[in-house]
């Protein structure tokens, strides 16, 4: 089921465990019900658990409940017992390392076995994942590694709430209705908005804010045009135009993900493979290149990147460097004055001497007269130095046009030393430059956001497709590593059959260099291809040596049926599986259970026997529920009743096969795994493939002999030797 179709069928109110409080948290976090449902249906556990007090266990429970709601099935629908679900979980644990994203590892939990009513979906999955295995077989290892590298950087698109407050911008309007609409849309969360009744009120904001947006309805604001930091806009302006930062924030929040997705599509296009090209063909390669080019203009912080606009870079540079340059220029001016004056001399002529002598006759006359004399003689020198300094500042900071006039009188022309910058003028220059920068930046933000907005839908689809590909690719890599094949599936039969099957848990150890798995053959029930020695028997007892592989055989049957009903390939060279409505697995119990446990077990088997559904029952040493004598009778009785149900297949492991066979006669097939001795490493010599219609002995003497020969403790040796004598009597 596609996500959009699924979302249209349910609401948050329909999902168990989502009460009013959690619903409000989801809506607040995701921004809409659709976005919340999208995260739940996609099993996006990472984003769900980012909500305070929503743990992974509850998040997974919500996801599974939603899937059950949509599909009408749960994990427990087919996998009835806890033990069979444990096998399923262990299988997922083998597959998950092949996924490159946590998103995929969580989503795998939705690949649980399906019942016969969903056979079309099983076959659809089977076809998809067969293609996945074929792809991994076709690719070179370095290509697989390169693809995995990009996939590992992917995650679902983050739809984070933009929370930054912009302090240097204000929105003004002279229309009350527009003002109230802006408040309703919560524009004031991001920057100030204000209602102005007359054009003159606007002037109060000019000095305070770097940039002003004016939505004008009633008045003529032509007199404002001279102000470069004002933009007069229509009342129909959109929120995206008022706040272009939100669109760029989407790109910034998903920066690495978007770039990796574009790179991955490009990588696919460079690999000569039809399956990868079919993915590439879903998308426009030119559009991915355009998106990458746009991303170069956006910093990971969401700000406009350098080199996007040379003019903005120039203004940004001035604002960043102005104070530092001014300090350096101020120092240069004073040093230059000292240097030039130290090389200068003053000549006082006769009349000037007489004027100075006369000035000494008054208390303040001489200093004033001397100062006037200095001004006449060195003012030009100092003016030239200051002018040269301001010219240097213009050149170094690239001031132009009206900006050059802003620097006039930045340094005083009065006769004084040391020369100090006019701080009021400095602040005016910075203020003017900041306003010019803010106006330029807003125009560029709008332009860049408009270009970026057109690609958002494409980005969503691209990343969703690539995350789906990660699941596809993970199954393919798993199938390749474990040498899996697609089984034949047919709901008209009731049985399981495989040749050269390998237990996945043992295969994992082999891949880790811990021994070699011996493939085995087995069949139970009505199947399209029977193995020699079988005759469509639906009920069997598996007998044989301790540690001979009986439990591993039962596990393998579980693995093949589970994987087949998941729609995944299975671990064998040839396999068939029916689609069972219910699968039961009861693992081995340790010791003799209590009377209460015996009662509970019998009740459970009564439910199994009475169930009218098509079912597979796998049981490991049920005799441990009671004493051996009674155990054989109980198991025999259960097998007889199961045999009467044509919709049932069952395999029971038992060391009481000989006793049970006397009860069930020829109704049940007896299979055996035979051990013939110990090798040089004291390991059992066993033919791991069960022999059909063959009662195999448990051979406890081989286990005792192994212990006897492997211990170096004399006391233990004596015990094992005595036990061997007793067993062989």
Report the distance separating Cα 267 and Cα 369, nearest Å.
84
Structural contact between residues 191 and 167, judged by C-beta atoms closer than 8 angstroms? yes
pLDDT in tens, 116-162: 999 999 999 999 999 999 999 999 999 999 999 999 999 988 877 78
Residues in the chain: 729
**531 pLDDT above the threshold of 90:** no
Residue 552: C-alpha distances to residues 95, 414, 497, 504 (Å): 19, 100, 16, 9
Nearest alpha carbon to residue 495 among 553, 561, 541, 550: 561
pLDDT in tens, 632-678: 888 899 999 999 888 899 999 998 888 888 888 888 999 999 887 77
Nearest alpha carbon to residue 479 among 81, 40, 91, 39: 91
Residue 316 corresponds to which tokens in the numbers above? 């940004």
Residue 78 corresponds to which tokens in the numbers above? 């087919």
Looking at residue 717, its pLDDT comes to 85
Regarding beta strands 675-678 and 684-686, do their DSSP bridges make them parallel or antiparallel, or are they unpaired?
antiparallel
Helix (H) or strand (E) segment spanning residue 193: strand 192-195
Strand order in the sheet with 211-215: 192-195, 169-173, 211-215, 230-233
Looking at residue 349, its pLDDT comes to 61
CB-based contacts of 609, cutoff 8 Å, min separation 6 = 638, 641, 642, 645
Looking at residue 162, its pLDDT comes to 84
User: How does residue 602 score in pLDDT terms, banded at 50, 70 and 90?
Assistant: confident
Other Cβ atoms within 10 Å of 368 Cβ, number: 11
Report the distance separating Cα 413 and Cα 337, nearest Å.
13
pLDDT in tens, 466-524: 999 999 999 999 999 999 999 999 988 999 999 999 999 999 999 999 989 999 999 99
Residue 541 corresponds to which tokens in the numbers above? 């007892």
pLDDT in tens, 262-299: 999 999 999 999 989 898 998 999 999 999 999 999 99
Residue 700 corresponds to which tokens in the numbers above? 């406890």
Structural contact between residues 158 and 459, judged by C-beta atoms closer than 8 angstroms? no
| Global pTM value | 0.83
β-sheet bridge partners, residue 520 = 501
CB-count burial class (<10 Å; 0-12, 13-18, 19+) for 680:
exposed
Residue 473: C-alpha distances to residues 131, 267, 516 (Å): 10, 15, 27
Looking at residue 552, its pLDDT comes to 94
622 against 626, higher pLDDT: 622
**2 pLDDT above the threshold of 70:** no
**366 pLDDT above the threshold of 60:** no
**626 pLDDT above the threshold of 80:** no
As a whole number of Å, the end-to-end CA separation of the chain is 66
pLDDT in tens, 222-237: 655 555 688 888 888 8
Task: Name the 3-class secondary structure at 686.
Answer: strand
Ranked by mean pLDDT, the top range of 3-17, 96-110, 336-350 is: 96-110
Looking at residue 592, its pLDDT comes to 46
Using CA atoms in the order 490, 496, 501, 502, what is the torsion angle rounded to 10 degrees? Answer: 110
Residue tagged 């996801």 (tokens)? 63
User: How does residue 72 score in pLDDT terms, banded at 50, 70 and 90?
Assistant: confident
Looking at residue 194, its pLDDT comes to 92
User: How does residue 630 score in pLDDT terms, banded at 50, 70 and 90?
Assistant: confident
Task: Name the 3-class secondary structure at 534.
Answer: coil
**362 pLDDT above the threshold of 90:** no
Rounded average pLDDT over 542-549: 84
Distance of CA 107 to the CA centre of its chain: 11
Nearest alpha carbon to residue 206 among 443, 441, 432: 432
**365 pLDDT above the threshold of 70:** no
> For the chain, what percent of residues have pLDDT higher than 90?
49
Prior bond of 292 cis (ω within 30°):
no
User: How does residue 356 score in pLDDT terms, banded at 50, 70 and 90?
Assistant: low
Rounded average pLDDT over 563-588: 95
Strand order in the sheet with 669-673: 582-586, 615-620, 648-653, 539-544, 669-673
Looking at residue 352, its pLDDT comes to 59
> For the chain, what percent of residues have pLDDT higher than 70?
91
Report the distance separating Cα 643 and Cα 518, nearest Å.
31
**622 pLDDT above the threshold of 90:** no
Report the distance separating Cα 570 and Cα 478, nearest Å.
11
**591 pLDDT above the threshold of 50:** no
Regarding beta strands 211-215 and 675-678, do their DSSP bridges make them parallel or antiparallel, or are they unpaired?
unpaired
Residue 35: C-alpha distances to residues 28, 39, 238, 466, 680 (Å): 11, 6, 22, 19, 64
Looking at residue 358, its pLDDT comes to 58
* Mean pLDDT estimate for the chain: 87
């Amino acid at each position: 089921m596609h996500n959009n179709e699924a979302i249209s069928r349910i609401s948050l109110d329909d999902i168990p465990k989502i009460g009013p409080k959690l619903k409000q948290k989801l809506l607040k976090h995701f921004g809409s019900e659709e976005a919340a449902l999208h995260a739940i249906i996609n099993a996006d556990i990472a984003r769900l658990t980012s909500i305070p007090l929503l743990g992974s266990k509850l998040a997974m429970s919500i996801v599974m409940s939603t899937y059950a709601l949509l599909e009408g099935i749960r994990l427990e629908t087919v996998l009835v017992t806890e033990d069979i679900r444990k096998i399923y979980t262990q299988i997922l644990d083998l597959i998950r390392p092949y996924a490159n994203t946590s998103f995929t590892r969580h989503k795998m939990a939705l690949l649980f076995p399906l019942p016969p009513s969903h056979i079309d979906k099983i076959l659809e999955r089977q076809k998809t994942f067969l293609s996945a295995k074929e792809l991994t077989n076709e690719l070179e290892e370095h290509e697989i590694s390169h693809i995995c590298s990009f996939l590992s950087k992917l995650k679902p698109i983050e739809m984070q709430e933009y929370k930054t407050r912009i302090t240097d911008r204000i929105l003004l309007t002279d229309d009350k209705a527009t003002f109230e609409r802006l408040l309703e849309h919560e524009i004031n969360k991001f920057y100030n908005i204000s209602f102005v009744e007359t054009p003159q009120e606007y002037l109060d904001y000019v000095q305070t804010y770097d940039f002003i947006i004016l939505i004008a309805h009633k008045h003529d604001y032509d007199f404002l045009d001279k102000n470069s930091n004002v933009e007069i806009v229509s009342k129909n302006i959109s929120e995206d135009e008022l706040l272009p930062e939100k669109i760029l924030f989407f790109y910034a929040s998903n920066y690495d993900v978007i770039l990796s997705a574009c790179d991955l599509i490009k990588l696919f296009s460079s690999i000569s493979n039809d399956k990868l090209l079919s993915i590439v063909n879903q998308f426009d390669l030119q559009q991915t290149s355009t998106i990458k080019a746009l991303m170069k203009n956006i910093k990971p912080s969401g700000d406009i990147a350098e080199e996007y606009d040379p003019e903005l870079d120039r203004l940004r540079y001035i604002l960043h460097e102005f104070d530092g340059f001014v300090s350096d220029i101020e120092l240069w001016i004073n040093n230059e004055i000292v240097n030039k004056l130290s090389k200068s001399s003053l000549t006082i002529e006769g009349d000037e001497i007489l004027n100075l002598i006369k000035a000494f006759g008054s208390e303040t006359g001489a200093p004033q007269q001397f100062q006037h004399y200095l001004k006449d003689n060195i003012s030009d020198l100092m003016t030239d130095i200051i002018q040269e300094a301001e010219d240097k500042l213009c050149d170094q900071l690239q001031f132009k046009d009206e900006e050059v006039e802003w620097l006039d009188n930045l340094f005083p022309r009065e006769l004084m030393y040391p020369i100090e910058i006019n701080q009021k003028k400095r602040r005016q220059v910075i203020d003017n430059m900041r306003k010019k920068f803010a106006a330029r930046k807003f125009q560029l933000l709008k332009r860049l956001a408009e270009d970026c907005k057109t690609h958002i839908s494409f980005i969503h689809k691209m990343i969703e497709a690539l995350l789906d590909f990660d699941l596809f690719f993970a199954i393919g890599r798993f199938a390749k590593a474990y040498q899996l094949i697609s089984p034949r599936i047919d709901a008209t039969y009731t049985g399981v059959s495989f040749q050269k099957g390998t237990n996945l848990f043992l295969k994992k150890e082999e891949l880790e260099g811990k021994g070699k798995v011996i493939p085995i053959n087995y069949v139970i029930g009505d199947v399209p291809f029977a193995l020699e020695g079988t005759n469509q028997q639906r009920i069997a007892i598996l007998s044989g040596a301790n540690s001979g592989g009986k439990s591993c055989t039962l596990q393998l049957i579980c693995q093949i049926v589970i994987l087949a009903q998941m729609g995944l390939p299975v671990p064998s060279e040839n396999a068939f599986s029916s689609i069972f409505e219910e699968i039961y697995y009861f693992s081995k119990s340790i010791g003799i259970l209590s009377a209460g446990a015996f009662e509970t077990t019998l009740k459970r088997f009564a439910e199994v026997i009475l169930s009218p559904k098509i079912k597979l029952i796998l049981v490991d040493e049920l005799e441990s529920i009671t004493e051996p004598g009674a155990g054989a009778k109980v198991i025999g009785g259960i097998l007889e009743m199961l045999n009467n149900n044509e919709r049932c297949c069952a395999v029971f492991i038992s060391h009481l096969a000989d006793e049970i066979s006397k009860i069930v006669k020829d109704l049940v097939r007896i299979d055996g795994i035979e051990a013939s001795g110990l090798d040089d490493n004291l390991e059992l010599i066993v033919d791991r493939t069960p022999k059909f219609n063959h009662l195999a002995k448990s051979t406890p003497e081989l286990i005792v002999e192994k212990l006897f020969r492997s211990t170096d403790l004399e006391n233990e040796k004596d015990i094992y030797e005595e036990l061997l004598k007793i067993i062989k009597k």
